Chains A and B, each alone.
Chain A
């Protein structure tokens, strides 16, 4: 069991679920950003697992994983910039206090 594709897929599925839960349950914008990173890393683990256990996918897997890492880095950069901008305006990182537009 410990050396099969399925066990890695279950593991990455669990990581993805933890990330999703963190995104939905956390109130802090930075924690939500970290949860998204966790979800993206779960995706990477899925990709690497497919690459390691399915021979024809071997080469593609590392390329796809590298591209995903690059995209995740770009996303984190933009996200942190926006978090800093809103922190300057609102003096809080808690998203449930960003409610000036709800009617």
Chain B
């Protein structure tokens, strides 16, 4: 280790310092909300600036265990944006319920630190530790409303299945390490390429790879490893759900990019069928179950499973030989972040008054009660459906085009993705119907979200719109980031 190694870690060090500073501010001014929020947001802004100052470099640190490249910078920025938006939305939910914000912000930023470490991992062991650093604070956030039975119930389900999947992933990792002789991603890739060239993979190695695949599929909530998702999402405090639906999911896809693309790249013909089956099952089942839900948070949980399926189509396209699959995954991740966090933010605004549920009837007449919130929710839902010219349309388009270019079975997968997108319109538009064609409840009080909340909502709305009207902006960034060897 030397000083330049620390330089490549600078964004992560800044994020850790930010979390620590938030805790210190809370000690100095206990219970004051504004100083904690200001410290967290300023720290995250500096972190983003540090990431940008490193962008364009490609370097390795700590003997090759950590890499800084286009992918790291892209994902780091995305994770910082996720943390900042979550903090902006969180206080409107936490304050009326008497929950502290400083611990929330600190735990959230620690989780983001893990996600940023995942993004730059080039070592299987580092990948595992970073993944744990990302998910452990996530369990705590899910149970943040510790006197609320729903929140703790969601947390324990998330925790039990999450650590179960971590153990499975680790078991596979032990075999891959033992039989290839290294945890370094490039050494593993070379060993696997050698084995693939000989035409046979040792049974123990194949088993290890299967266990690792199952572990990652758990983390990204792919069917049939998705059981924890609906309860964890519905039970968690709504701003936490907003974070969980994007942060750990994109983190899991970062693991997939570092693991499948960089380490298992030589075997991509072997894992292509698995990813195709996972993608087909995930999007179909996620959409079918989402149709039957009456709770909007639970509906968005199933819809997030479906979106995992669409993103997996991008991974399948990469395995089928289309390198653009990777940049399509990144584009999808960024677009999904803004539109999905925006949708959860509107639910947060509705739930500002404690006791309001996220049942679909809560949305009745929202278009008249609060025209701006109604219009933004409609925008996010249309984008999630994939209606042009919104960000969600281009996200789906890039993934599907990459799959069609790859050809073969992937063409069938692309057709299935389009059919699914059409079916998804049903349950997204159902909420829009409730907002504009039903009368609001007589006693519904006016909605008055805080200033910071409005800024966050404006950012998500503008991003959804701008990335939809000018997809080239985001596409340039995701294409530059998607240049991975493997």
Contact = CB atoms under 8 A, between A and B. Distances in A.
Interface of A: 9, 16, 19, 23, 29, 32-33, 36, 39-40, 42-43, 46-47, 50, 54, 56-57, 60, 64, 67-68, 71, 74-75, 78-79, 81-83, 85-86, 88-90, 95, 98, 100-103
Contacts of B163: 36, 75, 79
A72 to B, nearest CB: 9
A68 B170 contact: yes
Nearest to B294: A103
B174 A47 contact: yes
5 contacts: A36-B163, A78-B136, A78-B140, A82-B155, A86-B155
Contacts of A68: 170
B139 interface: yes
A86 B235 contact: no
Given A78-B136, A82-B152, A86-B155, 12 more contacts: A29-B160, A36-B163, A43-B174, A46-B178, A47-B178, A68-B170, A83-B156, A86-B153, A89-B147, A90-B152, A98-B153, A101-B150
Given A40-B167, A50-B177, A85 B146 contact: yes
A90 B157 CA distance: 14
B286 to A, nearest CB: 16
Given A46-B174, A57-B178, A82-B152, A101 B231 contact: yes
B231 A82 contact: no
Nearest to A35: B164
B218 to A, nearest CB: 13
A64 B230 CA distance: 34
A35 B164 CA distance: 9
Interface residues of B, number: 43
B143 interface: yes
Interface in B269-296: 293-295
A40 B171 CA distance: 8
Contacts of A43: 167, 170-171, 174
B125 interface: yes
- Chain A: interface secondary structure? helix
Contacts of A90: 149, 152-153
Contacts of B128: 71
A74 B132 contact: yes
A74 B152 contact: no
Contacts of B150: 100-101
Contact of B156 (A46, A82, A88, A102): A82
B344 interface: no
Given A68-B170, A100-B153, A50 B129 contact: no
A74 B156 contact: no
A70 B259 CA distance: 23
A92 B129 CA distance: 32
Contact of B154 (A32, A56, A79, A101): A101
A42 B140 CA distance: 26
Contact of B159 (A16, A46, A78): A78
A89 B132 CA distance: 27
B175 to A, nearest CB: 7
Given A29-B156, A60-B183, A68-B170, A89 B178 contact: no
Contact of B125 (A56, A64, A74, A85): A64
Contacts of A42: 171
B417 to A, nearest CB: 27
B234 interface: yes
A47 B175 CA distance: 8
A85 B166 CA distance: 22
Contact of B171 (A16, A57, A102): A16
For the complex of A and B, the 4 pairs showing the least CB-CB separation, nearest first, are A50-B178, A39-B167, A86-B152, A89-B149
B136 to A, nearest CB: 5
Interface in B104-143: 125, 128-129, 132, 136, 139-140, 143
Contacts of B170: 40, 43, 68
Contacts of A9: 204
A33 B170 CA distance: 16
